[in-house]
Amino acid sequence: MRIRSGIFGSIVLGLVALCIAFGVGFAGRGTILKDSKDKDKEGLKQFPQEVVCRDKPKHTPNDVDHKDNLKHSPKNVIIFIADGGGFNHFRADDYYECNQIPCRPCERFPARLAMSTYPVGGEYNAKVAWCSFDYVENGATDSAAAATAMAAGVKTYNAGIGVDVNGNPVLNLLERAEQLGKATGVVTSVPFSHATPAGFVIHNGDRNNYTQIAADMIEESAADVIMGCGHPLYNADGKLTGTSHYNYIGAAAWAGLVNGTAGGDADADGIPDHWTLVQTRAEFQTLAAGLTPKRVFGIAQVYKTLQEDRSGDALAAPYQVPLTQTVPTLEEMTVAALNVLDEDPNGFFVMIEGGAVDWAAHANYSGRLIEEMNDFNRSIDAVINWVNQNSDWGETLVIITADHETGHLTGPGSGQLPEGPVWNDLVANGPGNLPTMEWHSGSHTNSLVPFFAKGPGAQLFKNTIDGYDSVRGPYIDNTDIANVIFTLWHSH
């Protein structure tokens, strides 16, 4: 959001002045700061306390040594995206799981940063963000523009899938991995043709063209694994509906998958590589070990989401409404995908999305948010185990981040109070209990999101820092993900 002139501008500037004047008190009150003690210490070293709302001048990226990059070129790249998962979404699950932060191994990864997510023409202004409670509620990206930024390193307009602002296709990481002879895949807990997975595979001017996107993913892409939801025959509870709803995949593409005739030439040998269709939970589980088909299209027997959209009290505590047992977990899908992809001696690229985190956050369903973040985090833990057992941190780069925050999630008592903006911490209520949290929006926000990386090249992200946020610390931009990996996979 740019500050407009006139009355609105005065209000924002007034808040900035207020925020600077009360900078110390503000910083002290916001218990949101607790998790960034180290960052705070650094911040206090770097800035006089009264300018807590002011960020550092834009950092100039360090020179990148391409020989060094080649040495650190990752064989495997695994990107996790919690759709809509802001700092407090991660924290909510930490409190649920451990009653404290940090909780998960990924939170101890060597590269721990924040990341900006705005679409083309936007910005994140760290000077203003913590001086007005509502600042982040304007200028948010959608998942399409964010996926394009992360997959291709190009900012685009909201709804744009793998295209630049003029609608031209832009090379994505999955396509680059294919050029390098790697296996590739996308995995999600929402329809496979939804914006985030689509943005890593194909190119389309409008994210809502689901059936065309699905057809392109199935027939035109060289991906080896596609897993997600969007089944045309099942409802939200995993029951056959008796009718077909070809919303996320068209009838022809579905028939091709069922008949075993779908799928083009994925490995450029002139022979079509047909998809092996996997649907039942048992089939997904079987893929976790042993020999696997070359290309796997896995669609869970459920409509929009694995679990988030199931019936029952959506405001109940986590897992109080029994989970649908006939669909795999995201963790089971993740392990299955890895076992298919890791047979390529050249390595692989995969994007794994906790897609329904966003759906729970849009609806402000706290219990279901925990369920979705929990499955997402278990998927990350499974990948960390996979790296430790089947690979190593010298050849596999793992990134965990989000495409944007959804719901403006805070702890209780937050808001634009008479004395200024207040962001209180979530309240931990013990392991296995829902933390106390407060939603302020049903939409996406322009908040910074977390970024964790470990493996070859992870430290290079520290060379792409765009600014310093007084609460979240140094932040990169979502375009840096693709641009750093393109650099690591340097073309000669």
CB of 362 to Zn ion, least distance (A): 6
Stretch that binds Zn ion, among 242-250, 286-294, 352-360, 480-488 (CB under 5 A): 352-360
CB of 147 to Zn ion, least distance (A): 12
CB of 174 to Zn ion, least distance (A): 22
Stretch that binds Zn ion, among 207-215, 224-232, 351-359, 450-458 (CB under 5 A): 351-359
Which residue number, 353 or 358, has a Cβ lying nearer to Zn ion?
A: 358
Which residue number, 39 or 444, has a Cβ lying nearer to Zn ion?
A: 444
Q: Which pairing describes strands 276-278 and 420-422: parallel, antiparallel, or unpaired?
A: unpaired
Which residue number, 15 or 402, has a Cβ lying nearer to Zn ion?
A: 402
CB of 144 to Zn ion, least distance (A): 10
CB of 318 to Zn ion, least distance (A): 21
CB of 12 to Zn ion, least distance (A): 26
* Total number of residues that touch Zn ion (CB under 5 A): 1
Stretch that binds Zn ion, among 100-108, 160-168, 285-293, 356-364 (CB under 5 A): 356-364
Q: What is the 3-state secondary structure (H, E, C) of the chain?
A: CCCCCCHHHHHHHHHHHHHHHCHHHHHHHCHHHHHHHHHHHHHHHHCCHHHCCCCCCCCCCCCCCHHHHHHCCCCEEEEEEECCCCHHHHHHHHHHHHCCCCCCHHHHCCEEEEEECCCCCCCCCHHHHCCCCCHHHCCCCCHHHHHHHHHHCCCCCCCCECECCCCCECCCHHHHHHHCCCEEEEEEEEECCCHHHHHHHCCECCCCCHHHHHHHHHHHCCCCEEEEECCCCECCCCCECCCCCCCCCCHHHHHHHHHCCCCCCCCCCCCCCCCEEECCHHHHHHCCCCCCCCCEEEECCCCCCCCCCCCCCCCCCCCCCCCCCCCCCHHHHHHHHHHHHCCCCCCEEEEEEECHHHHHHHCCCHHHHHHHHHHHHHHHHHHHHHHHHHCCCCCEEEEEEECCEECCCECCCCEEECCEEECCCCECCCCCCCCECECCCCCEECCCEEEEEECCCHHHHHHHCCEEECCCEEEEECHHHHHHHHHHCCCC
Which residue number, 145 or 257, has a Cβ lying nearer to Zn ion?
A: 145
Distance CA 468, CA 449 (A): 13
Contact 355, 238 (CB under 8 A): no
CB of 350 to Zn ion, least distance (A): 22
CB of 153 to Zn ion, least distance (A): 22
The answer to whether residue 438 forms part of the interface with Zn ion (CB under 5 A) is no
CB of 172 to Zn ion, least distance (A): 20
Stretch that binds Zn ion, among 87-95, 272-280, 358-366, 474-482 (CB under 5 A): 358-366
Stretch that binds Zn ion, among 8-16, 201-209, 350-358, 394-402 (CB under 5 A): 350-358
Which residue number, 403 or 480, has a Cβ lying nearer to Zn ion?
A: 403
Which residue number, 94 or 358, has a Cβ lying nearer to Zn ion?
A: 358
Q: Which residue from 358, 403, 405, 425 is in contact with Zn ion, where contact means CB under 5 A? A: 358
Which residue number, 358 or 469, has a Cβ lying nearer to Zn ion?
A: 358
Q: What is the 3-state secondary structure (H, E, C) of 115-175?
A: EECCCCCCCCCHHHHCCCCCHHHCCCCCHHHHHHHHHHCCCCCCCCECECCCCCECCCHHH
Residue 303: CB partners within 8 Å, gap ≥ 6? 229, 230, 231, 234, 235, 236, 245, 309
CA 53 to chain centre: 27
Per-residue binding string, Zn ion, 307-346, x by CB under 5 A, is ----------------------------------------
Which residue number, 176 or 404, has a Cβ lying nearer to Zn ion?
A: 404
Which residue number, 193 or 301, has a Cβ lying nearer to Zn ion?
A: 193
Which residue number, 107 or 358, has a Cβ lying nearer to Zn ion?
A: 358
- Closest residue to Zn ion: CB criterion: 358
Which residue number, 175 or 358, has a Cβ lying nearer to Zn ion?
A: 358
CB of 54 to Zn ion, least distance (A): 31
CB of 143 to Zn ion, least distance (A): 6
Stretch that binds Zn ion, among 1-9, 93-101, 323-331, 353-361 (CB under 5 A): 353-361
Stretch that binds Zn ion, among 235-243, 310-318, 354-362, 368-376 (CB under 5 A): 354-362
CB of 120 to Zn ion, least distance (A): 18
Which residue number, 91 or 404, has a Cβ lying nearer to Zn ion?
A: 404
Site for Zn ion in 451-490 (CB under 5 A): none
Q: Can you give the binding site for Zn ion, defined by CB under 5 A? A: 358
